[in-house]
Amino acid sequence: MTEQVRWLDAEEAALWRTFLALERSIHLEIQRDLKTTSGLTEPEFEVLVHLSEADGPLRMTALADALMWERSRVSHQVTRMAARGLVRRTSCPEDGRGAFVSATDEGLREIEKAAPDHVATVRRVFLDRLDDDDKRELARLLALLEGTGGGPQDSAATRSSGAPGVPS
């Protein structure tokens, strides 16, 4: 038996499209500003954020979980970043198939250089548009959605290592 589809009504469709447009607009601004103010792409910045906040090298699988990326995407990204001297990949001594990744001194310099402008962009395009009550209400609403598939809470719950990860 086929399930009945609950189509979006006009108000729900408008809300969903507004959310998608806002999300794309924010990411576009972040990408533009990173490109303008640093030598990093947004994916490079995200990887370096997680590595710079970790207590030592991260397993590639833990980095993939923290970023909520497919493992192949992380592998390709790390390969490109290693070629640029931003990260270092090392073999896992206990598991020949596993690998660790860590930021190099150059990678840490790049993230430290890019972070102030990135934070200014996040404030300009997102946080500064909200007053304190708006921020609390948005946090409350986002918390309702966290357990619905793929949010930060889901990622942390399924992560096999205790690797830290803060979304950028």
- Residues with Cβ within 8 Å of 89's Cβ and at least 6 positions away in sequence, in order, are 60, 78, 79, 82, 99, 100, 101
Cα 75 from Cα 63, distance rounded (Å) = 10
Average pLDDT, the chain: 87
113-132 pLDDT, tens digit per residue, is 999 999 999 999 999 999 99
Task: Quote the DSSP letter at residue 5.
Answer: P
Residue 160 has pLDDT above 80, yes or no: no
Specify burial of residue 100 (Cβ count, 10 A radius: 0-12, 13-18, 19+). middle
The answer to whether the beta carbons of residues 58 and 163 sit under 8 Å apart is yes
- Residues with Cβ within 8 Å of 43's Cβ and at least 6 positions away in sequence, in order, are 77
Cα 71 from Cα 115, distance rounded (Å) = 25
Confidence bin at 97 (pLDDT 50/70/90): confident
The answer to whether the beta carbons of residues 101 and 60 sit under 8 Å apart is yes
Confidence bin at 94 (pLDDT 50/70/90): confident
Structure-block tokens of residue 58: 């991260």
pTM above 0.85, yes or no: no
The answer to whether the beta carbons of residues 55 and 154 sit under 8 Å apart is no
Percent of the chain with pLDDT over 90: 79
Q: How far is CA 126 from CA 18, 23, 57, in A?
A: 15, 10, 31
